[in-house]
């Protein structure tokens, strides 16, 4: 199966917007297509949460085997794609509390990080999504 970056990006979006109960089923479905996935919950004040969000993405990716342990190129790709997704969100969420999920997908050289969040503002909630992509060496 010849998967492209758009297929991997779609998988990361699906993981980010999925309910916690459906993650395992989605993970198995994507794995059968050759796409490795992981999702992790995030939240807090967006300005102070940036380092924690990147750290959670790195830890989850290593735990699930999406990236190789102690391989700096992979670490940098996760951090960079996560940062890119966060920058797409920051303008709407600056200074506010957020809650949501990171969805990460990888197939071969393609790596995609999607962040789906709800931005709390009194009783009004805004919804925002950001996505980042990196190409990395296919080393396992």
What domains can you pick out in the chain, each with its CATH number? 5-135 (3.40.1510.10)
pLDDT per position as a tens digit, 21-31:
999 999 999 99
pLDDT per position as a tens digit, 52-102:
999 999 999 999 999 988 788 999 999 999 999 999 998 888 888 899 999
CA 16 to chain centre: 7
Q: In what order do the strands lie in the sheet with 124-135?
A: 36-45, 97-107, 110-121, 124-135
Q: Does 140 score more than 60 pLDDT?
A: no
pLDDT grade for 138, boundaries at 50, 70 and 90: confident
Q: Rounded to whole angstroms, what are the CA distances from 133 to 121, 126, 136?
A: 29, 24, 10
Beta bridge partner(s), residue 41: 101
């Amino acid at each position: 199966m010849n998967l492209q970056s758009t297929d991997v990006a779609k998988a990361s979006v699906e993981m980010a917007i999925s309910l916690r109960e459906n993650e395992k089923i989605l993970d198995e479905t994507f794995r059968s297509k050759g796409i490795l996935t992981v999702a992790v919950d995030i939240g807090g004040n967006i300005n102070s949460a940036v380092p924690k969000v990147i750290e959670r993405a790195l830890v989850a990716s290593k735990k699930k085997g999406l990236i190789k342990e102690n391989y700096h190129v992979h670490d940098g790709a996760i951090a960079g794609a996560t940062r890119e997704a966060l920058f797409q969100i920051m303008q709407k969420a600056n200074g506010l509390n957020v809650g949501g999920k990171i969805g990460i997908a990888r197939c071969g050289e393609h790596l995609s990080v999607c962040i789906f969040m709800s931005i709390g503002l009194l009783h009004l909630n805004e919804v925002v999504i950001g996505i980042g992509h990196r190409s990395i060496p296919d080393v396992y």
